[in-house]
Structure formats: C-alpha cells, structure tokens
Chain A
Amino acid sequence: MKAGVLTAGLATLLFSGAMLSDAVKADEVVFEFSGRLSGELQGYFEEGRFDGQNYQNNASLALEPELYWSFNDGTDSVIFTPFYRLDQQDEERSHGDIRELSWVHVGDDWEMRTGLRKVFWGVTEFNHLVDVINQTDGIEDSDGEEKLGQPMVNLSLVRDWGILDLFVLPGFRERTFAGTDGRLRSGLVVDTGRARYESGAGDQHIDTAVRWSQSFDLYDIGLYWFRGTNRDPRFETGVKNGTPVLIPVYEQMDQIGFDGQATIDSWLWKLELLWRDLPAGQYTAMQAGAEYTFYGIRNSNTDLGVLAEFGWDERGGKADTVFQNDLFIGSRVTLNDAASTEFLAGLGYDIDYSSRSLFVEASSRFGECLKLSLDVRLFDSGSPRDLMTHIDQDDRIQLTADYYF
C-alpha cells in the first residue's frame, strides 16, 4: 500500500518537477507557502473501558504546511500538502500522510488533476454517506471528516449539461484506527498490519468512478457510479500475541450514489442516497434532512440555523454503521463578528437502541493568525448491541489552537 502511494506520489513529483523547470524558464512561477500548526488538548471525563485507556488527558501537535506553485499563466499548478501529527498517548495517532501532492492542468472546458488528492461529495452535515473517493483518517477524529490523500487521475469536463468527472484511482489507502492506547475505539484493537483484500491485486486494485453534477436553478444534484475497493472494511477476528484483534477485510464493491440539495429562500433541503453491492449482498442507505436559517435575529448580526437529519440503513441492526436508524437535530449560531465566532451543537438519537450523542463546537479568531476551538462530545449508549457502547466512557472536551502561517 505505502509503496503504491509513494510511487504515485513520486511520479507526480517528478512530472511536476519537469513541468516546473520548464516554467522557471518562462519566468512565470508563482510560489506560495502557507500552512497550519495545530495544538490539541483533550480531557476525558473518565478513564476508558479497555486496557491501555487508563488516562484522562492527552496532548497532541499537528503540522500541515502547504506548498503551491502556479505556472504557464495559471494553467498549471502543483500543490504539496504533507501532514504529521504527534500524539502523547496513542502511538498509532502519531502518524503522517501526504494529504495532497498533485498537478492540475486546466484546458478551455476541461481539467486534468493528477496525484494524491482529496475529493468531497455530498450535502448533509451529520453523516457523509456518499463521500467515497478518499479513505477516512479515522484516528484523526471520530467525525469521519479527516481524509487520507488518494492517488488519482481525474479528468473533469465542463459542459452545458453539467460537470462530468472521470476517475482512475490506482492504489488504495487503508483506514487508520486507534491503537491499544487510543480512545474512541472498539474493545478489540484493529490490527492494521494484517489487512486482507478480496481482490487478488490487494491494495493495487485500480478503482474507477464517474460522476455527473449539475445545477438547475434552485437545485444542485450529483450522481455517480464507483467500482472498486470498499473504503469501509469488514472485520474478522484474529489473534495477535495471544490477544484477540480485529482484522480489516477490504472487499470489492459497486456503488451508486446520489446527492441533491434544494436551496429555497432560507431553506436547504438535503438528500443523499446510496446503493452498494458487496459480496454479501446489496443494500441501500439514506441521509436526508433540512436546514433553516433565521438571519439577523432580534435585529442583531447573529444568524441562527436549525438543522434536522435522518440517517437510515436497510441492513438495520446488522449495519456496520452507527447511523442505521438515527435522528439528528442541531443548531448553528453565527455571530458574523470580526472574529468569525461560531457555535454548533448537535444531538443524535438512535431510534433502535435509544443511544444518544451530543456535540458542541465553538470557535473564534484571535488576532490575525490564531483560531481557538472548543469541542465537547458526549456519548450515551442505550444498548450493548449498539456500536456506540464501545465509546460510552469516552466523553471528552477538547481545546484546539490553530496557528496559520
């Protein structure tokens, strides 16, 4: 896996290097260096349920610089975004990744994007059901929004009838999981070193995807077909040093995904639909909801948004997701002040298991370069059969300081 990713990355680098030296002659290279240094303090309300989790405090530091070159009058650009995190408690969470190392060439009505990249598809807020291209960097955060760079060649065509994206994805990224000393994990540790594949090509299977997206007046829709390695592994149990462990198994799948949003006055209506064909069978899943915003409440500059979403999975209790029959409500408060102060709160309720989760996020800018965020996450599992039961004791508060340069 790592070799594959490195090869793809190296090829891009060499290619872009060649492009660059040409461009230097043209004396038109624009170079930008920027990035983020992030410090994180986590406080858990109690010690974890499992061995290795007998601590309540954790500190962590992450660095994500971004190097960007633009040349040939902006028709070519190269971006390089390495990432590294150092974690006090969990050695698995001390990890690095190349978030992006890619070259983009822009034509009149097309773009070619080559290298390690990130692609997001979807419209909902509480779950990103149809977002499939990138593997989740599961150890970064439990919200599934942190992603690993995916090797790809992506041709994007802009036509009157919409944008058509064609993907060839050489090489697969395995999901990251918390180690023995990590919080927010299942009882058994995932042995990432022994990942198995359905495909004989293993992590070198070449995946493909086609996506069409278009805006019709108030409606924005996207439809795609993906064929390749399922980013969500199935787990088998194994033994490592006499201890039972989980072994991730990555299967082949076909997937059709739809995302749509209607933007009507102060309403956003959102729908994500998924059909997935796995060796064990086919299933459908949905995430749907609405968001309404009250602008300038009480003649102030403050906006108040109210969100409600519903997550459903045809497999019900057998689903490998915690969002199989779940309701979400949330609220977003935006002060629209010079410091861009925001609050976001969300409550999830599992209809099948009566489990509840709550998160509150607050963030504000301090000075020109510093952003502070405070996150609180609480989990209350209503049934030992709900996957949430493993993280029942992982309630935590987190302070993040992001320094931008």
Chain B
Amino acid sequence: MNLTKPFYLLMALTFLSSPVLALTPEERGLEIAREAKQRDSGWADMQAEMLMVLRNKQGEESVREIRIKSLEQEGDGDKSLTIFDKPLDVKGTAFLSFSHPLEADDQWLYLPALKRVKRISSRNKSGPFMGSEFAYEDLSSFEIEKYSYKYIKDESCDGGACFVVEQYPVDKDSGYTRRVAWIDQNHYRVWKVDFYDRKNSLLKTLTFKGYQQYLDNYWRADLQQMQNHQNGKSTELKWSGYQFRVGLNDADFNKNTLKRAR
C-alpha cells in the first residue's frame, strides 16, 4: 500500500497538469476568459460616472456626461440603468437594459420631453453609442458565452506579461469578425483590444489606463481610449466616482426607476 502512494500522487499530478499541457489554443483562450470572468464576479452592484469625449479628425470635441448603475445577476447578464446628463438636449433621457448572454437584451428608453417609456430593439449591437466610436456591444457586460476563443501567444503589454487572445463574436449581428485582447497574466485585466470589422480589417483599438482596485478585488480602468483607424475619430471614456456594493437591488431597475432616473 505504501509503495503505491507515490504512484497515486504521480497519477494525480499527471491528471492535474496534463490538461494544461494538452490544452488546444481554443481551450486555453476559453480558460483565460473564464478566469477573467471568475475574478471579476461577486461585485454585486456598482455605480459610476462617465465623461465621454468625442474627437473628430480635426480634433473638435463634443462631450457627453453619463451615469451608470449596474446590478450583477447570477446566471444571467447584468441589469443596468444609464442616465444622460449631457448633451443638454438629451438631459433626463435614461436607458434600462437587462442583458442576456445569448438571447437578445431587453431594453427600454425613457424620453423625458414626452414622459414616454419606449421598448426598443436591442439588435443594434454594432451601431455607435451616442455618436461615439464605441459601439453598443463594446459597452455591454462581458459574458463568456458571447464569444468563442483562441489563445495566440504571450506578449508583454502595459500591464506586464500578457496573454494575447482572439475572441470571435457568436452573435451574427456583431460588427466584428474578431477582437484581439491583451490580458495581463497577473490580474487578468484587459489592457488593449483590437477590433476587426466584418471585412476582417483593423477598425479600432481600445486601450485601458489607470487601473484602480476596488473592494480589494475588482479592477476598473479610469481611462478608456478608443481610436478608430479607418475614420480618424477617437473617443475617450473617463470614469469617476466608482462605488461598489451601494445596496442596489432588482427594485432599482424597472420602468418606474427609469422614469425618475436623473
């Protein structure tokens, strides 16, 4: 019996390590996505403010001010409430979204001038958000099921040693054939994403800067910069006022809260 012990240990070791060694690039890519999702789950609820600066080719700026509240959902996509403060003509406009990993998201828009809540189609994934270089799909919550994956290589990036992973959108309405993401090996934070359009040419690059840790666990970047290589325009997202576990619950995400969100 004693003699067999090291054998079992060896077996166990082989069992544990061999899948890692034998992982295909696809499995490894999925593994990295799972780990990133795992590390970023359990935040429960959050709210933050977002300053969006749009720049055209000539460098002319246009500003949007937006507040976001999100609620994590177990086994489903997040619920979120987005409130627009600027530009002033859309002040008071609010957007409620129940996102789902694979099915269409449920979305409602509140138009304050008419006091009207409109259920809207969520098919418009690839369209620009508020005229910016961010598409709606770039701002939706990350769900593992939304992509298939392929690990490409290790490479150093702003976050140190990074995995380079290709992500292929499952949704046929996505504006991308693939995204290439640089994810640091230490904390699984995204530092850079290249977006390839439907013709598979490089469309945009998103870079993340100023990562801060919240609740000793969750990393959020203060600055996201999106550069469109094809039209020369760019959009900056400056985040502030991040608060986690403020006590939001399902009752904060319905048509009534949408109407008085401001």
Contact = CB atoms under 8 A, between A and B. Distances in A.
B256 A163 contact: yes
A239 to B, nearest CB: 39
A183 to B, nearest CB: 23
Contacts of A77: 260
Interface in B109-157: 114-121, 123-124, 126-128, 130-132
Nearest to A215: B106
A303 B121 CA distance: 12
Interface string B186-209: 000000000000100000000000
B23 interface: no
B62 interface: yes
B260 A295 contact: no
Interface string A66-83: 001000000001000000
A267 B120 CA distance: 9
A405 interface: yes
Given A120-B115, A368-B86, A336 B63 contact: no
A301 B86 contact: no
A338 B54 contact: yes
Given A158-B251, A263-B121, A371 B89 contact: yes
Contact of B89 (A213, A220, A337, A404): A404
Contacts of A369: 87-89
A404 B91 contact: yes
Nearest to A107: B251
Contacts of A404: 87-89, 91
A265 B91 CA distance: 28
Most chain B CB inside 10 Å of its own CB: which residue of A217, A261, A338 = A338
A292 to B, nearest CB: 9
Nearest to B120: A263
Interface string B215-257: 0000000000000000000000000000000000001001110
A220 B119 contact: yes
B116 A213 contact: no
Contacts of B62: 338, 368
Nearest to B55: A338
Nearest to B251: A109
Interface string A16-35: 00000000000000000010
Most chain A CB inside 10 Å of its own CB: which residue of B115, B118, B123 = B115
B177 to A, nearest CB: 13
Interface residues of A, number: 45
A145 interface: yes
Contact of B91 (A34, A217, A299, A337): A34
Interface in A59-116: 68, 77, 104, 106, 108-109, 111
Contact of B124 (A163, A293, A338): A293
Interface in B55-100: 56, 62-63, 86-91
A104 B260 CA distance: 9
B262 interface: yes
A295 B175 CA distance: 11
B251 A108 contact: yes
A393 interface: no
Interface in A1-53: 34
Contacts of B116: 120, 122
Nearest to B123: A266
Contact of A340 (B123, B131, B175): B131
B254 A163 contact: yes
Contact of A156 (B87, B123, B173, B256): B256
Given A263-B119, A365-B87, A371-B89, A301 B128 contact: yes
Contact of A106 (B54, B89, B260): B260
A367 to B, nearest CB: 9
Contacts of A405: 88
B88 A368 contact: yes
A180 to B, nearest CB: 30
Nearest to B128: A336
A267 B122 CA distance: 10
B104 interface: yes
Contact of A265 (B89, B117, B121, B254): B121
A338 B251 CA distance: 33
B212 to A, nearest CB: 26
Given A265-B121, A404-B89, A405-B88, A111 B256 contact: yes
Given A118-B115, A215-B106, A296 B175 contact: yes
A122 B115 CA distance: 11
B137 to A, nearest CB: 12
Contacts of A293: 121, 123-124
A381 to B, nearest CB: 28
A68 B124 CA distance: 34
29 contacts: A68-B262, A109-B251, A111-B256, A120-B114, A120-B116, A163-B254, A215-B106, A215-B255, A220-B119, A261-B119, A263-B120, A263-B121, A265-B104, A293-B123, A295-B126, A295-B173, A296-B126, A303-B127, A336-B127, A337-B131, A338-B131, A340-B89, A340-B130, A340-B131, A368-B87, A369-B88, A402-B89, A404-B88, A404-B91
Interface of B: 54, 56, 62-63, 86-91, 104, 106, 114-121, 123-124, 126-128, 130-132, 173, 175, 198, 251, 254-256, 260, 262
Given A263-B119, A265-B121, A301-B127, 5 more contacts: A34-B91, A108-B251, A145-B114, A215-B255, A368-B86
The 7 closest A-B CB pairs, nearest first, are A404-B88, A338-B131, A120-B116, A120-B115, A295-B124, A118-B115, A371-B89
Interface of A: 34, 68, 77, 104, 106, 108-109, 111, 118-120, 122-123, 145, 156, 158, 163, 213, 215, 217, 220, 261, 263, 265-268, 293, 295-296, 299, 301, 303, 336-340, 365, 368-369, 371, 402, 404-405
